[in-house]
């Protein structure tokens, strides 16, 4: 009974903190603008199964991709065991899902195997981060805090796998020495239990309880640490893939007020239609986080900071300042800085800074070739060019700050109806002396 009370208190505290975090995130999302309508549910489900659950993009790099995919798939099986632990903790039972029979044996056996495999893979990931100095893990946006955060998250996962194996190992010893039936199949833990053959029944029970509490409290702590870590993608990546923009990559969104103006030009009579209310002036593009859509912010939360986008960016590879990962990280960082203040002080609050200028420079934005290599490579379907194009739109339409070459093109289009510096009357002069224009004899 005492164990149940302590567990319920820990669970309530965990859920309370998590609910507070979710409520704060919901408040921040309320500051964002609408994006696109979420339709074509069938296509979205197929995309989620392929990219999020099937890890199709991760597996483009077979070795490291397979390692990450195995960790992800292993978590899915271990999650079932974690749910069972929550039920046992509340009800005061032991292995309550054991009545599932063979299905339970398969799930638990896979979880036991994956616990060892994940532990070994996490050690490999830690070795890569500490000793191998992978190029895509570096960059101006990858601060010391980013590296420490990654190592903390990996260490927590390693702790969870060790305590899971310890819990299973000493459960087998405790059940065997007390004459109880061992519920479930534990290929790895049964082997490990042979190493502790001299442990007494009471010691085995105590060690089982220590590992049980260590594992479940580790899960509770990890769940509340993730929203403040780069590993928040554990929660957000699947929804982000499901909510992907299904439009072709590179397609720019149209602005409602611009579309309205164009329609007025096509139908002059519409200009005389009276409106009953004044419509707010819409900002062109993105200057700061209050201009972004919910999808831009969701992308920033889903970012794994893996650097795959930057590693394939042709601008970055040729020494330009642009790093697609940095821009996505800047959105999350800026929203964390300003969004919370806006919630406290109102949407009009300003700190005299902006995402564009103080975090992202015009030089970075204009270095982008909009080739969409970053978006194609991202394992969680982040559309980096979408936010880049929106900030470019602000520079061009709000500040008239396009590069000189573009301004010349805009001027030519306005004056000549074409991007070239020639009038429409002179457009065919280049062909005057060609044989095709000569009279046939």
Q: What is the pLDDT of residues 78-108, one digit of tens each?
A: 999 999 999 999 998 888 898 888 999 999 9
- Give the model confidence (pLDDT) of 120-169 as tens digits: 999 999 999 888 888 888 888 998 998 999 999 999 999 999 999 999 99
Facing residues of 365 across strands?
A: none
- For the chain, how many residues are written? 441
pLDDT band at 361 (very low <50, low <70, confident <90, very high): very high
Please state, in angstroms and as integers, the Cα–Cα distance from residue 335 to each residue in 216, 288, 330, following that order: 32, 9, 8
Average pLDDT in the 209-230 region? 94
Closest-CA residue to 226 (of 327, 152, 163, 159):
152
Higher pLDDT, 71 or 133: 71
pLDDT at 328 (0 to 100):
96
As a whole-number percent, the residues of the chain with pLDDT over 70 amount to: 95
Q: What pLDDT does 415 receive?
A: 84
Taken in order 197, 75, 302, 384, the sign of the CA dihedral is positive
Structural contact between residues 55 and 237, judged by C-beta atoms closer than 8 angstroms: no
Rounded to an integer, the average pLDDT of 114-124 is 96
The predicted model gives 194-223 an average pLDDT of: 91
What does the pLDDT average to over 17-41?
93
DSSP H or E segment with residue 413: helix 404-416
Task: Give me 62's structure tokens.
Answer: 């077979």
pLDDT value for 178: 82
Mean pLDDT of 4-9: 93
Contact of 213 with 133, CB cutoff 8 Å: no
3-state DSSP assignment of residue 350: coil
Flag whether pLDDT at 340 surpasses 70. Answer: yes
Q: Which contacts (CB < 8 Å, 24+ apart) does range 14-23 have?
A: 14/220, 14/223, 14/224, 17/224, 18/223, 18/224, 18/227, 21/224, 21/227
| Confidence at residue 404, expressed as pLDDT on a 0 to 100 scale | 83
Q: Model pTM? A: 0.87
Segment 173-202 shows an average pLDDT of 87
Rounded Cα distance between 367 and 315, Å, is 6
Return the pLDDT at 422: 78
Question: For the chain, what percent of residues have pLDDT higher than 90?
Answer: 64
- pLDDT tens for residues 391-436? 999 999 888 888 888 888 888 888 888 888 877 777 777 777 776 5
State how far the Cα of 71 lies from the Cα of 63, in Å rounded to an integer. Answer: 13
State the DSSP string of 126-184.
Answer: HHIIIII--GGG-STT--HHHHHHHHHHHHHHHHHHHHHHHHHHHHHHHHHHHT----S
The domain limits of the chain are 2-35+55-233, 256-270+282-416
Half-sphere exposure of 432 (CA within 13 A, CB side): 6
Residue 344: phi and psi, rounded to 5, are -75, -40
Question: Is the pLDDT score of 196 beyond 80?
Answer: yes
The greatest distance separating any two alpha carbons of the chain, rounded to the nearest whole angstrom, comes to 112
Query: Is residue 31 predicted with pLDDT exceeding 70?
Result: yes
End-to-end CA distance of the chain: 109
Question: What pLDDT does 348 receive?
Answer: 87
Q: Are 162 and 214 in contact (CB under 8 A)?
A: no
Give the bridge partners for 356, in sequence order: 360
Question: How many other CB atoms are found less than 10 A from the CB of residue 349?
Answer: 12
Across the range 19-31, mean pLDDT stands at 94
Q: Residue 279: pLDDT band by 50, 70, 90 thresholds? A: low
Query: How confident is the model over 300-314, as pLDDT tens digits?
Result: 999 999 999 999 999
What pLDDT score does 437 carry? 53
Using the predicted structure, report yes or no on whether residue 41 has a pLDDT greater than 70: yes
DSSP 168-211: HHHHHHHHHHHT----S--HHHHHHHGGGTT--HHHHHHHHHHH
What pLDDT does 275 receive?
Answer: 54
Q: Which two tokens stand for residue 238?
A: 């699947």
Tokens found for residue 170: 């000493």
Rg of the chain (C-alpha set): 29
Asked if residue 257 has pLDDT above 80, the reply is no
| pLDDT at 258 (0 to 100) | 78
The CATH class for the domain spanning 256-270+282-416 reads mainly alpha
Inter-CA distances, 247 with 34, 43, 239, 431, Å: 16, 12, 17, 40
Tell me the C-alpha distance between 316 and 318, whole Å. Answer: 5
């Amino acid at each position: 009974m005492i164990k149940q009370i302590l567990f319920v208190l820990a669970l309530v505290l965990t859920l309370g903190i998590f609910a507070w975090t979710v409520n704060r995130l919901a408040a921040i999302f309320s500051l964002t603008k609408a994006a696109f309508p979420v339709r074509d549910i069938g296509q979205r489900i197929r995309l989620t199964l392929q990219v999020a659950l099937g890890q199709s993009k991760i597996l483009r790099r077979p070795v490291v991709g397979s390692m990450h995919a195995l960790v992800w798939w292993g978590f899915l099986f271990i999650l079932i065991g974690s749910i069972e632990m929550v039920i046992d903790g509340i009800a005061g039972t032991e292995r309550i899902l054991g009545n599932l029979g063979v299905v339970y044996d398969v799930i638990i056996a896979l979880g036991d195997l994956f616990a060892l495999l994940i532990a070994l893979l996490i050690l490999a990931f830690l070795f890569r981060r500490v000793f191998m100095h992978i190029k895509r893990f570096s960059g101006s946006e990858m601060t010391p805090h980013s590296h420490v955060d990654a190592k903390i998250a990996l260490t927590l996962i390693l702790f969870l796998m060790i305590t899971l194996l310890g819990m299973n190992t000493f459960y087998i010893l405790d059940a065997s020495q007390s004459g109880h039936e061992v519920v479930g199949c534990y290929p790895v833990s049964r082997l490990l239990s042979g190493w502790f053959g001299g442990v007494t029944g009471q010691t085995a029970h105590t060690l089982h309880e220590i590992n049980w509490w260590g594992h479940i409290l580790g899960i509770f702590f990890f769940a509340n640490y993730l929203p403040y870590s780069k590993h928040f993608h554990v929660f957000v990546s699947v929804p982000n893939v499901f909510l992907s923009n299904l439009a072709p990559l590179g397609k720019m969104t149209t602005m409602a007020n611009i579309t309205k103006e164009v329609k007025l030009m096509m139908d002059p009579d519409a200009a005389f239609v009276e409106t009953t209310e004044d419509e707010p002036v819409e900002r062109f593009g993105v200057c700061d986080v209050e201009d972004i859509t919910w999808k831009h912010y969701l992308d920033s939360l889903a970012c794994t900071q893996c650097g795959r986008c930057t590693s394939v960016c042709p601008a970055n590879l040729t020494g330009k300042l642009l790093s697609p990962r940095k821009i996505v990280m800047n959105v999350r960082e800026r929203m964390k800085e300003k969004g919370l203040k806006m919630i406290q002080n109102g949407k009009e609050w300003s700190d005299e800074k902006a995402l564009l200028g103080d975090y992202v420079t015009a030089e970075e934005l204009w270095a982008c070739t909009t080739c969409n290599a970053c978006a194609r490579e991202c394992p969680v379907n982040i559309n980096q060019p979408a936010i880049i194009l929106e900030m470019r739109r602000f520079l061009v339409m709000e500040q008239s700050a396009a590069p000189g070459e573009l301004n010349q093109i805009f001027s030519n289009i306005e004056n000549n109806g074409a991007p070239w510096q020639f009038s429409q009357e002179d457009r065919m002069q280049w062909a005057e002396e060609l044989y095709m224009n000569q009279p046939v004899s």
